[in-house]
Amino acid sequence: MKEQAWIHLFITYLQLEKNSSIHTTRNYTNDITDFVEYMKAAQIVSFLDVKGSDAADFLSFLFNREYSRATISRKVSSLRSFFKFHMKEGRVSENPFATVILPKRSNQTYHTLSEDQMVYSLQLVSGASPLEQRDRAILELLYGTGIKVSECAKIKITDLNLSLGTILIEGKSRKERYLPVGKFALEALQTYINDGRNVLLQKTNQPQISLFLNVQGLSLSDRSIRSIIKKRIGVECNDMKLRPYDIRHSFTSHLLKNGADVKVVQDLLGNEQLIDIRNYTDVTKDRLQDVYKHFHPRA
């Protein structure tokens, strides 16, 4: 059986049995395909010939190529799941990645943009051209709802209800949640849908259900949305290494700082696990001071 057939069987299993999202299956496909390319270079004939030592060598290869620890962890995890599936199906006798020790995640530091930084950055995107209208709508929606970039890329035009001010979001494992959309995001979305999106639609003859479109009038990818964030918000925050997740982190921080209940914020984010408030040190400090001043008799 050719390598692509093995990959196809695994991805089909993820889609049908695990109900995995397009974003998840794409990551699995890319990770396994990268290993296939490594196999060719290492002269490993097929998946049947992969041994534990080959898995360890691949790990060293990834480190030497200076992949981040998070990326390496994901790739190893993908391959472990891949071989585990084919082992259960009886195609391989052992899982070569079962004994590979995943690198420990480094304590990643997220940047919290201040409310003034966010407002100023959003105002810089004037909305004069179709692409600026689209970018303004994306940024307002990301900050206004706290959704992930991958979730933003999957939004369909029918998921948005402008009259009710709500949007349907498809999260991990295709779990859905309805979110409120604030007035600034609604205004930006209304402008984009009425003007900018219609202009972009003229670039293609194909009907499009995606809310956000690229210059060809086709669905905008999550990779393109990340580039938009770095281009638009990164200008204001050039003294820090801004990551797309920082907008979601700022959304969470600003809600908590202004007194929002942790459980409510968790539901808005679509998180199954309770938010660890220790990741929001500025919020923790402010909360401690407020509680101390309010309740201590000698404060």
C-alpha to C-alpha distances, 94 to 49, 173, 255, 288, nearest whole angstrom = 11, 28, 48, 52
Contact call for residues 252 and 280 (beta carbons, < 8 A): yes
DSSP 6-58: HHHHHHHHHHHTS---HHHHHHHHHHHHHHHHHHHHTT--SGGG--HHHHHHH
Phi, psi of 179 (to 5 degrees): -125, 145
Answer whether 175's CB lies under 8 Å from 270's CB.
yes
Burial class (CB in 10 A: 0-12, 13-18, 19+), 15: middle
- For residues 292 and 163, give the distance between their C-alpha atoms in angstroms, rounded to a whole number: 43
Give the residue range(s) of CATH 1.10.150 domains in the chain. 3-88
Encode pLDDT of 181-202 as tens digits: 999 999 999 999 999 999 999 9
- DSSP, res 160: E
Q: Where in the chain is the domain with CATH 1.10.443.10?
A: 115-289
Confidence of residue 281 (pLDDT cuts 50, 70, 90): low
Regarding the domain with residue range 115-289, which homologous superfamily does it belong to in the CATH classification? Intergrase catalytic core (1.10.443.10)
**Domain 3-88 is found in CATH 1.10.150:** yes
pLDDT given at position 173? 67
252 vs 85: CA distance, rounded Å: 37
Tell me the torsion sign for CA atoms 59, 62, 63, 64.
positive
* Chain mean position to CA 225: 10
pLDDT for residue 299? 47
Helices (H), the chain: 3-16, 22-41, 52-64, 69-88, 115-124, 130-145, 149-153, 183-191, 197-201, 222-232, 245-257, 262-269, 281-295
The reported pLDDT for the residue numbered 101 is 76
Residues 147 and 157: beta-carbon distance below 8 Å:
no
Cβ(171)–Cβ(151) below 8 Å: yes
The answer to whether the predicted template modeling score (pTM) of the entire model surpasses 0.75 is no
pLDDT class for 291, splitting at 50, 70, 90?
A: low
pLDDT per residue as tens digits for the range 64-109: 777 778 888 899 999 999 999 999 999 999 999 998 876 565 555 6
Contact yes or no for 142/152 (Cβ under 8 A): yes
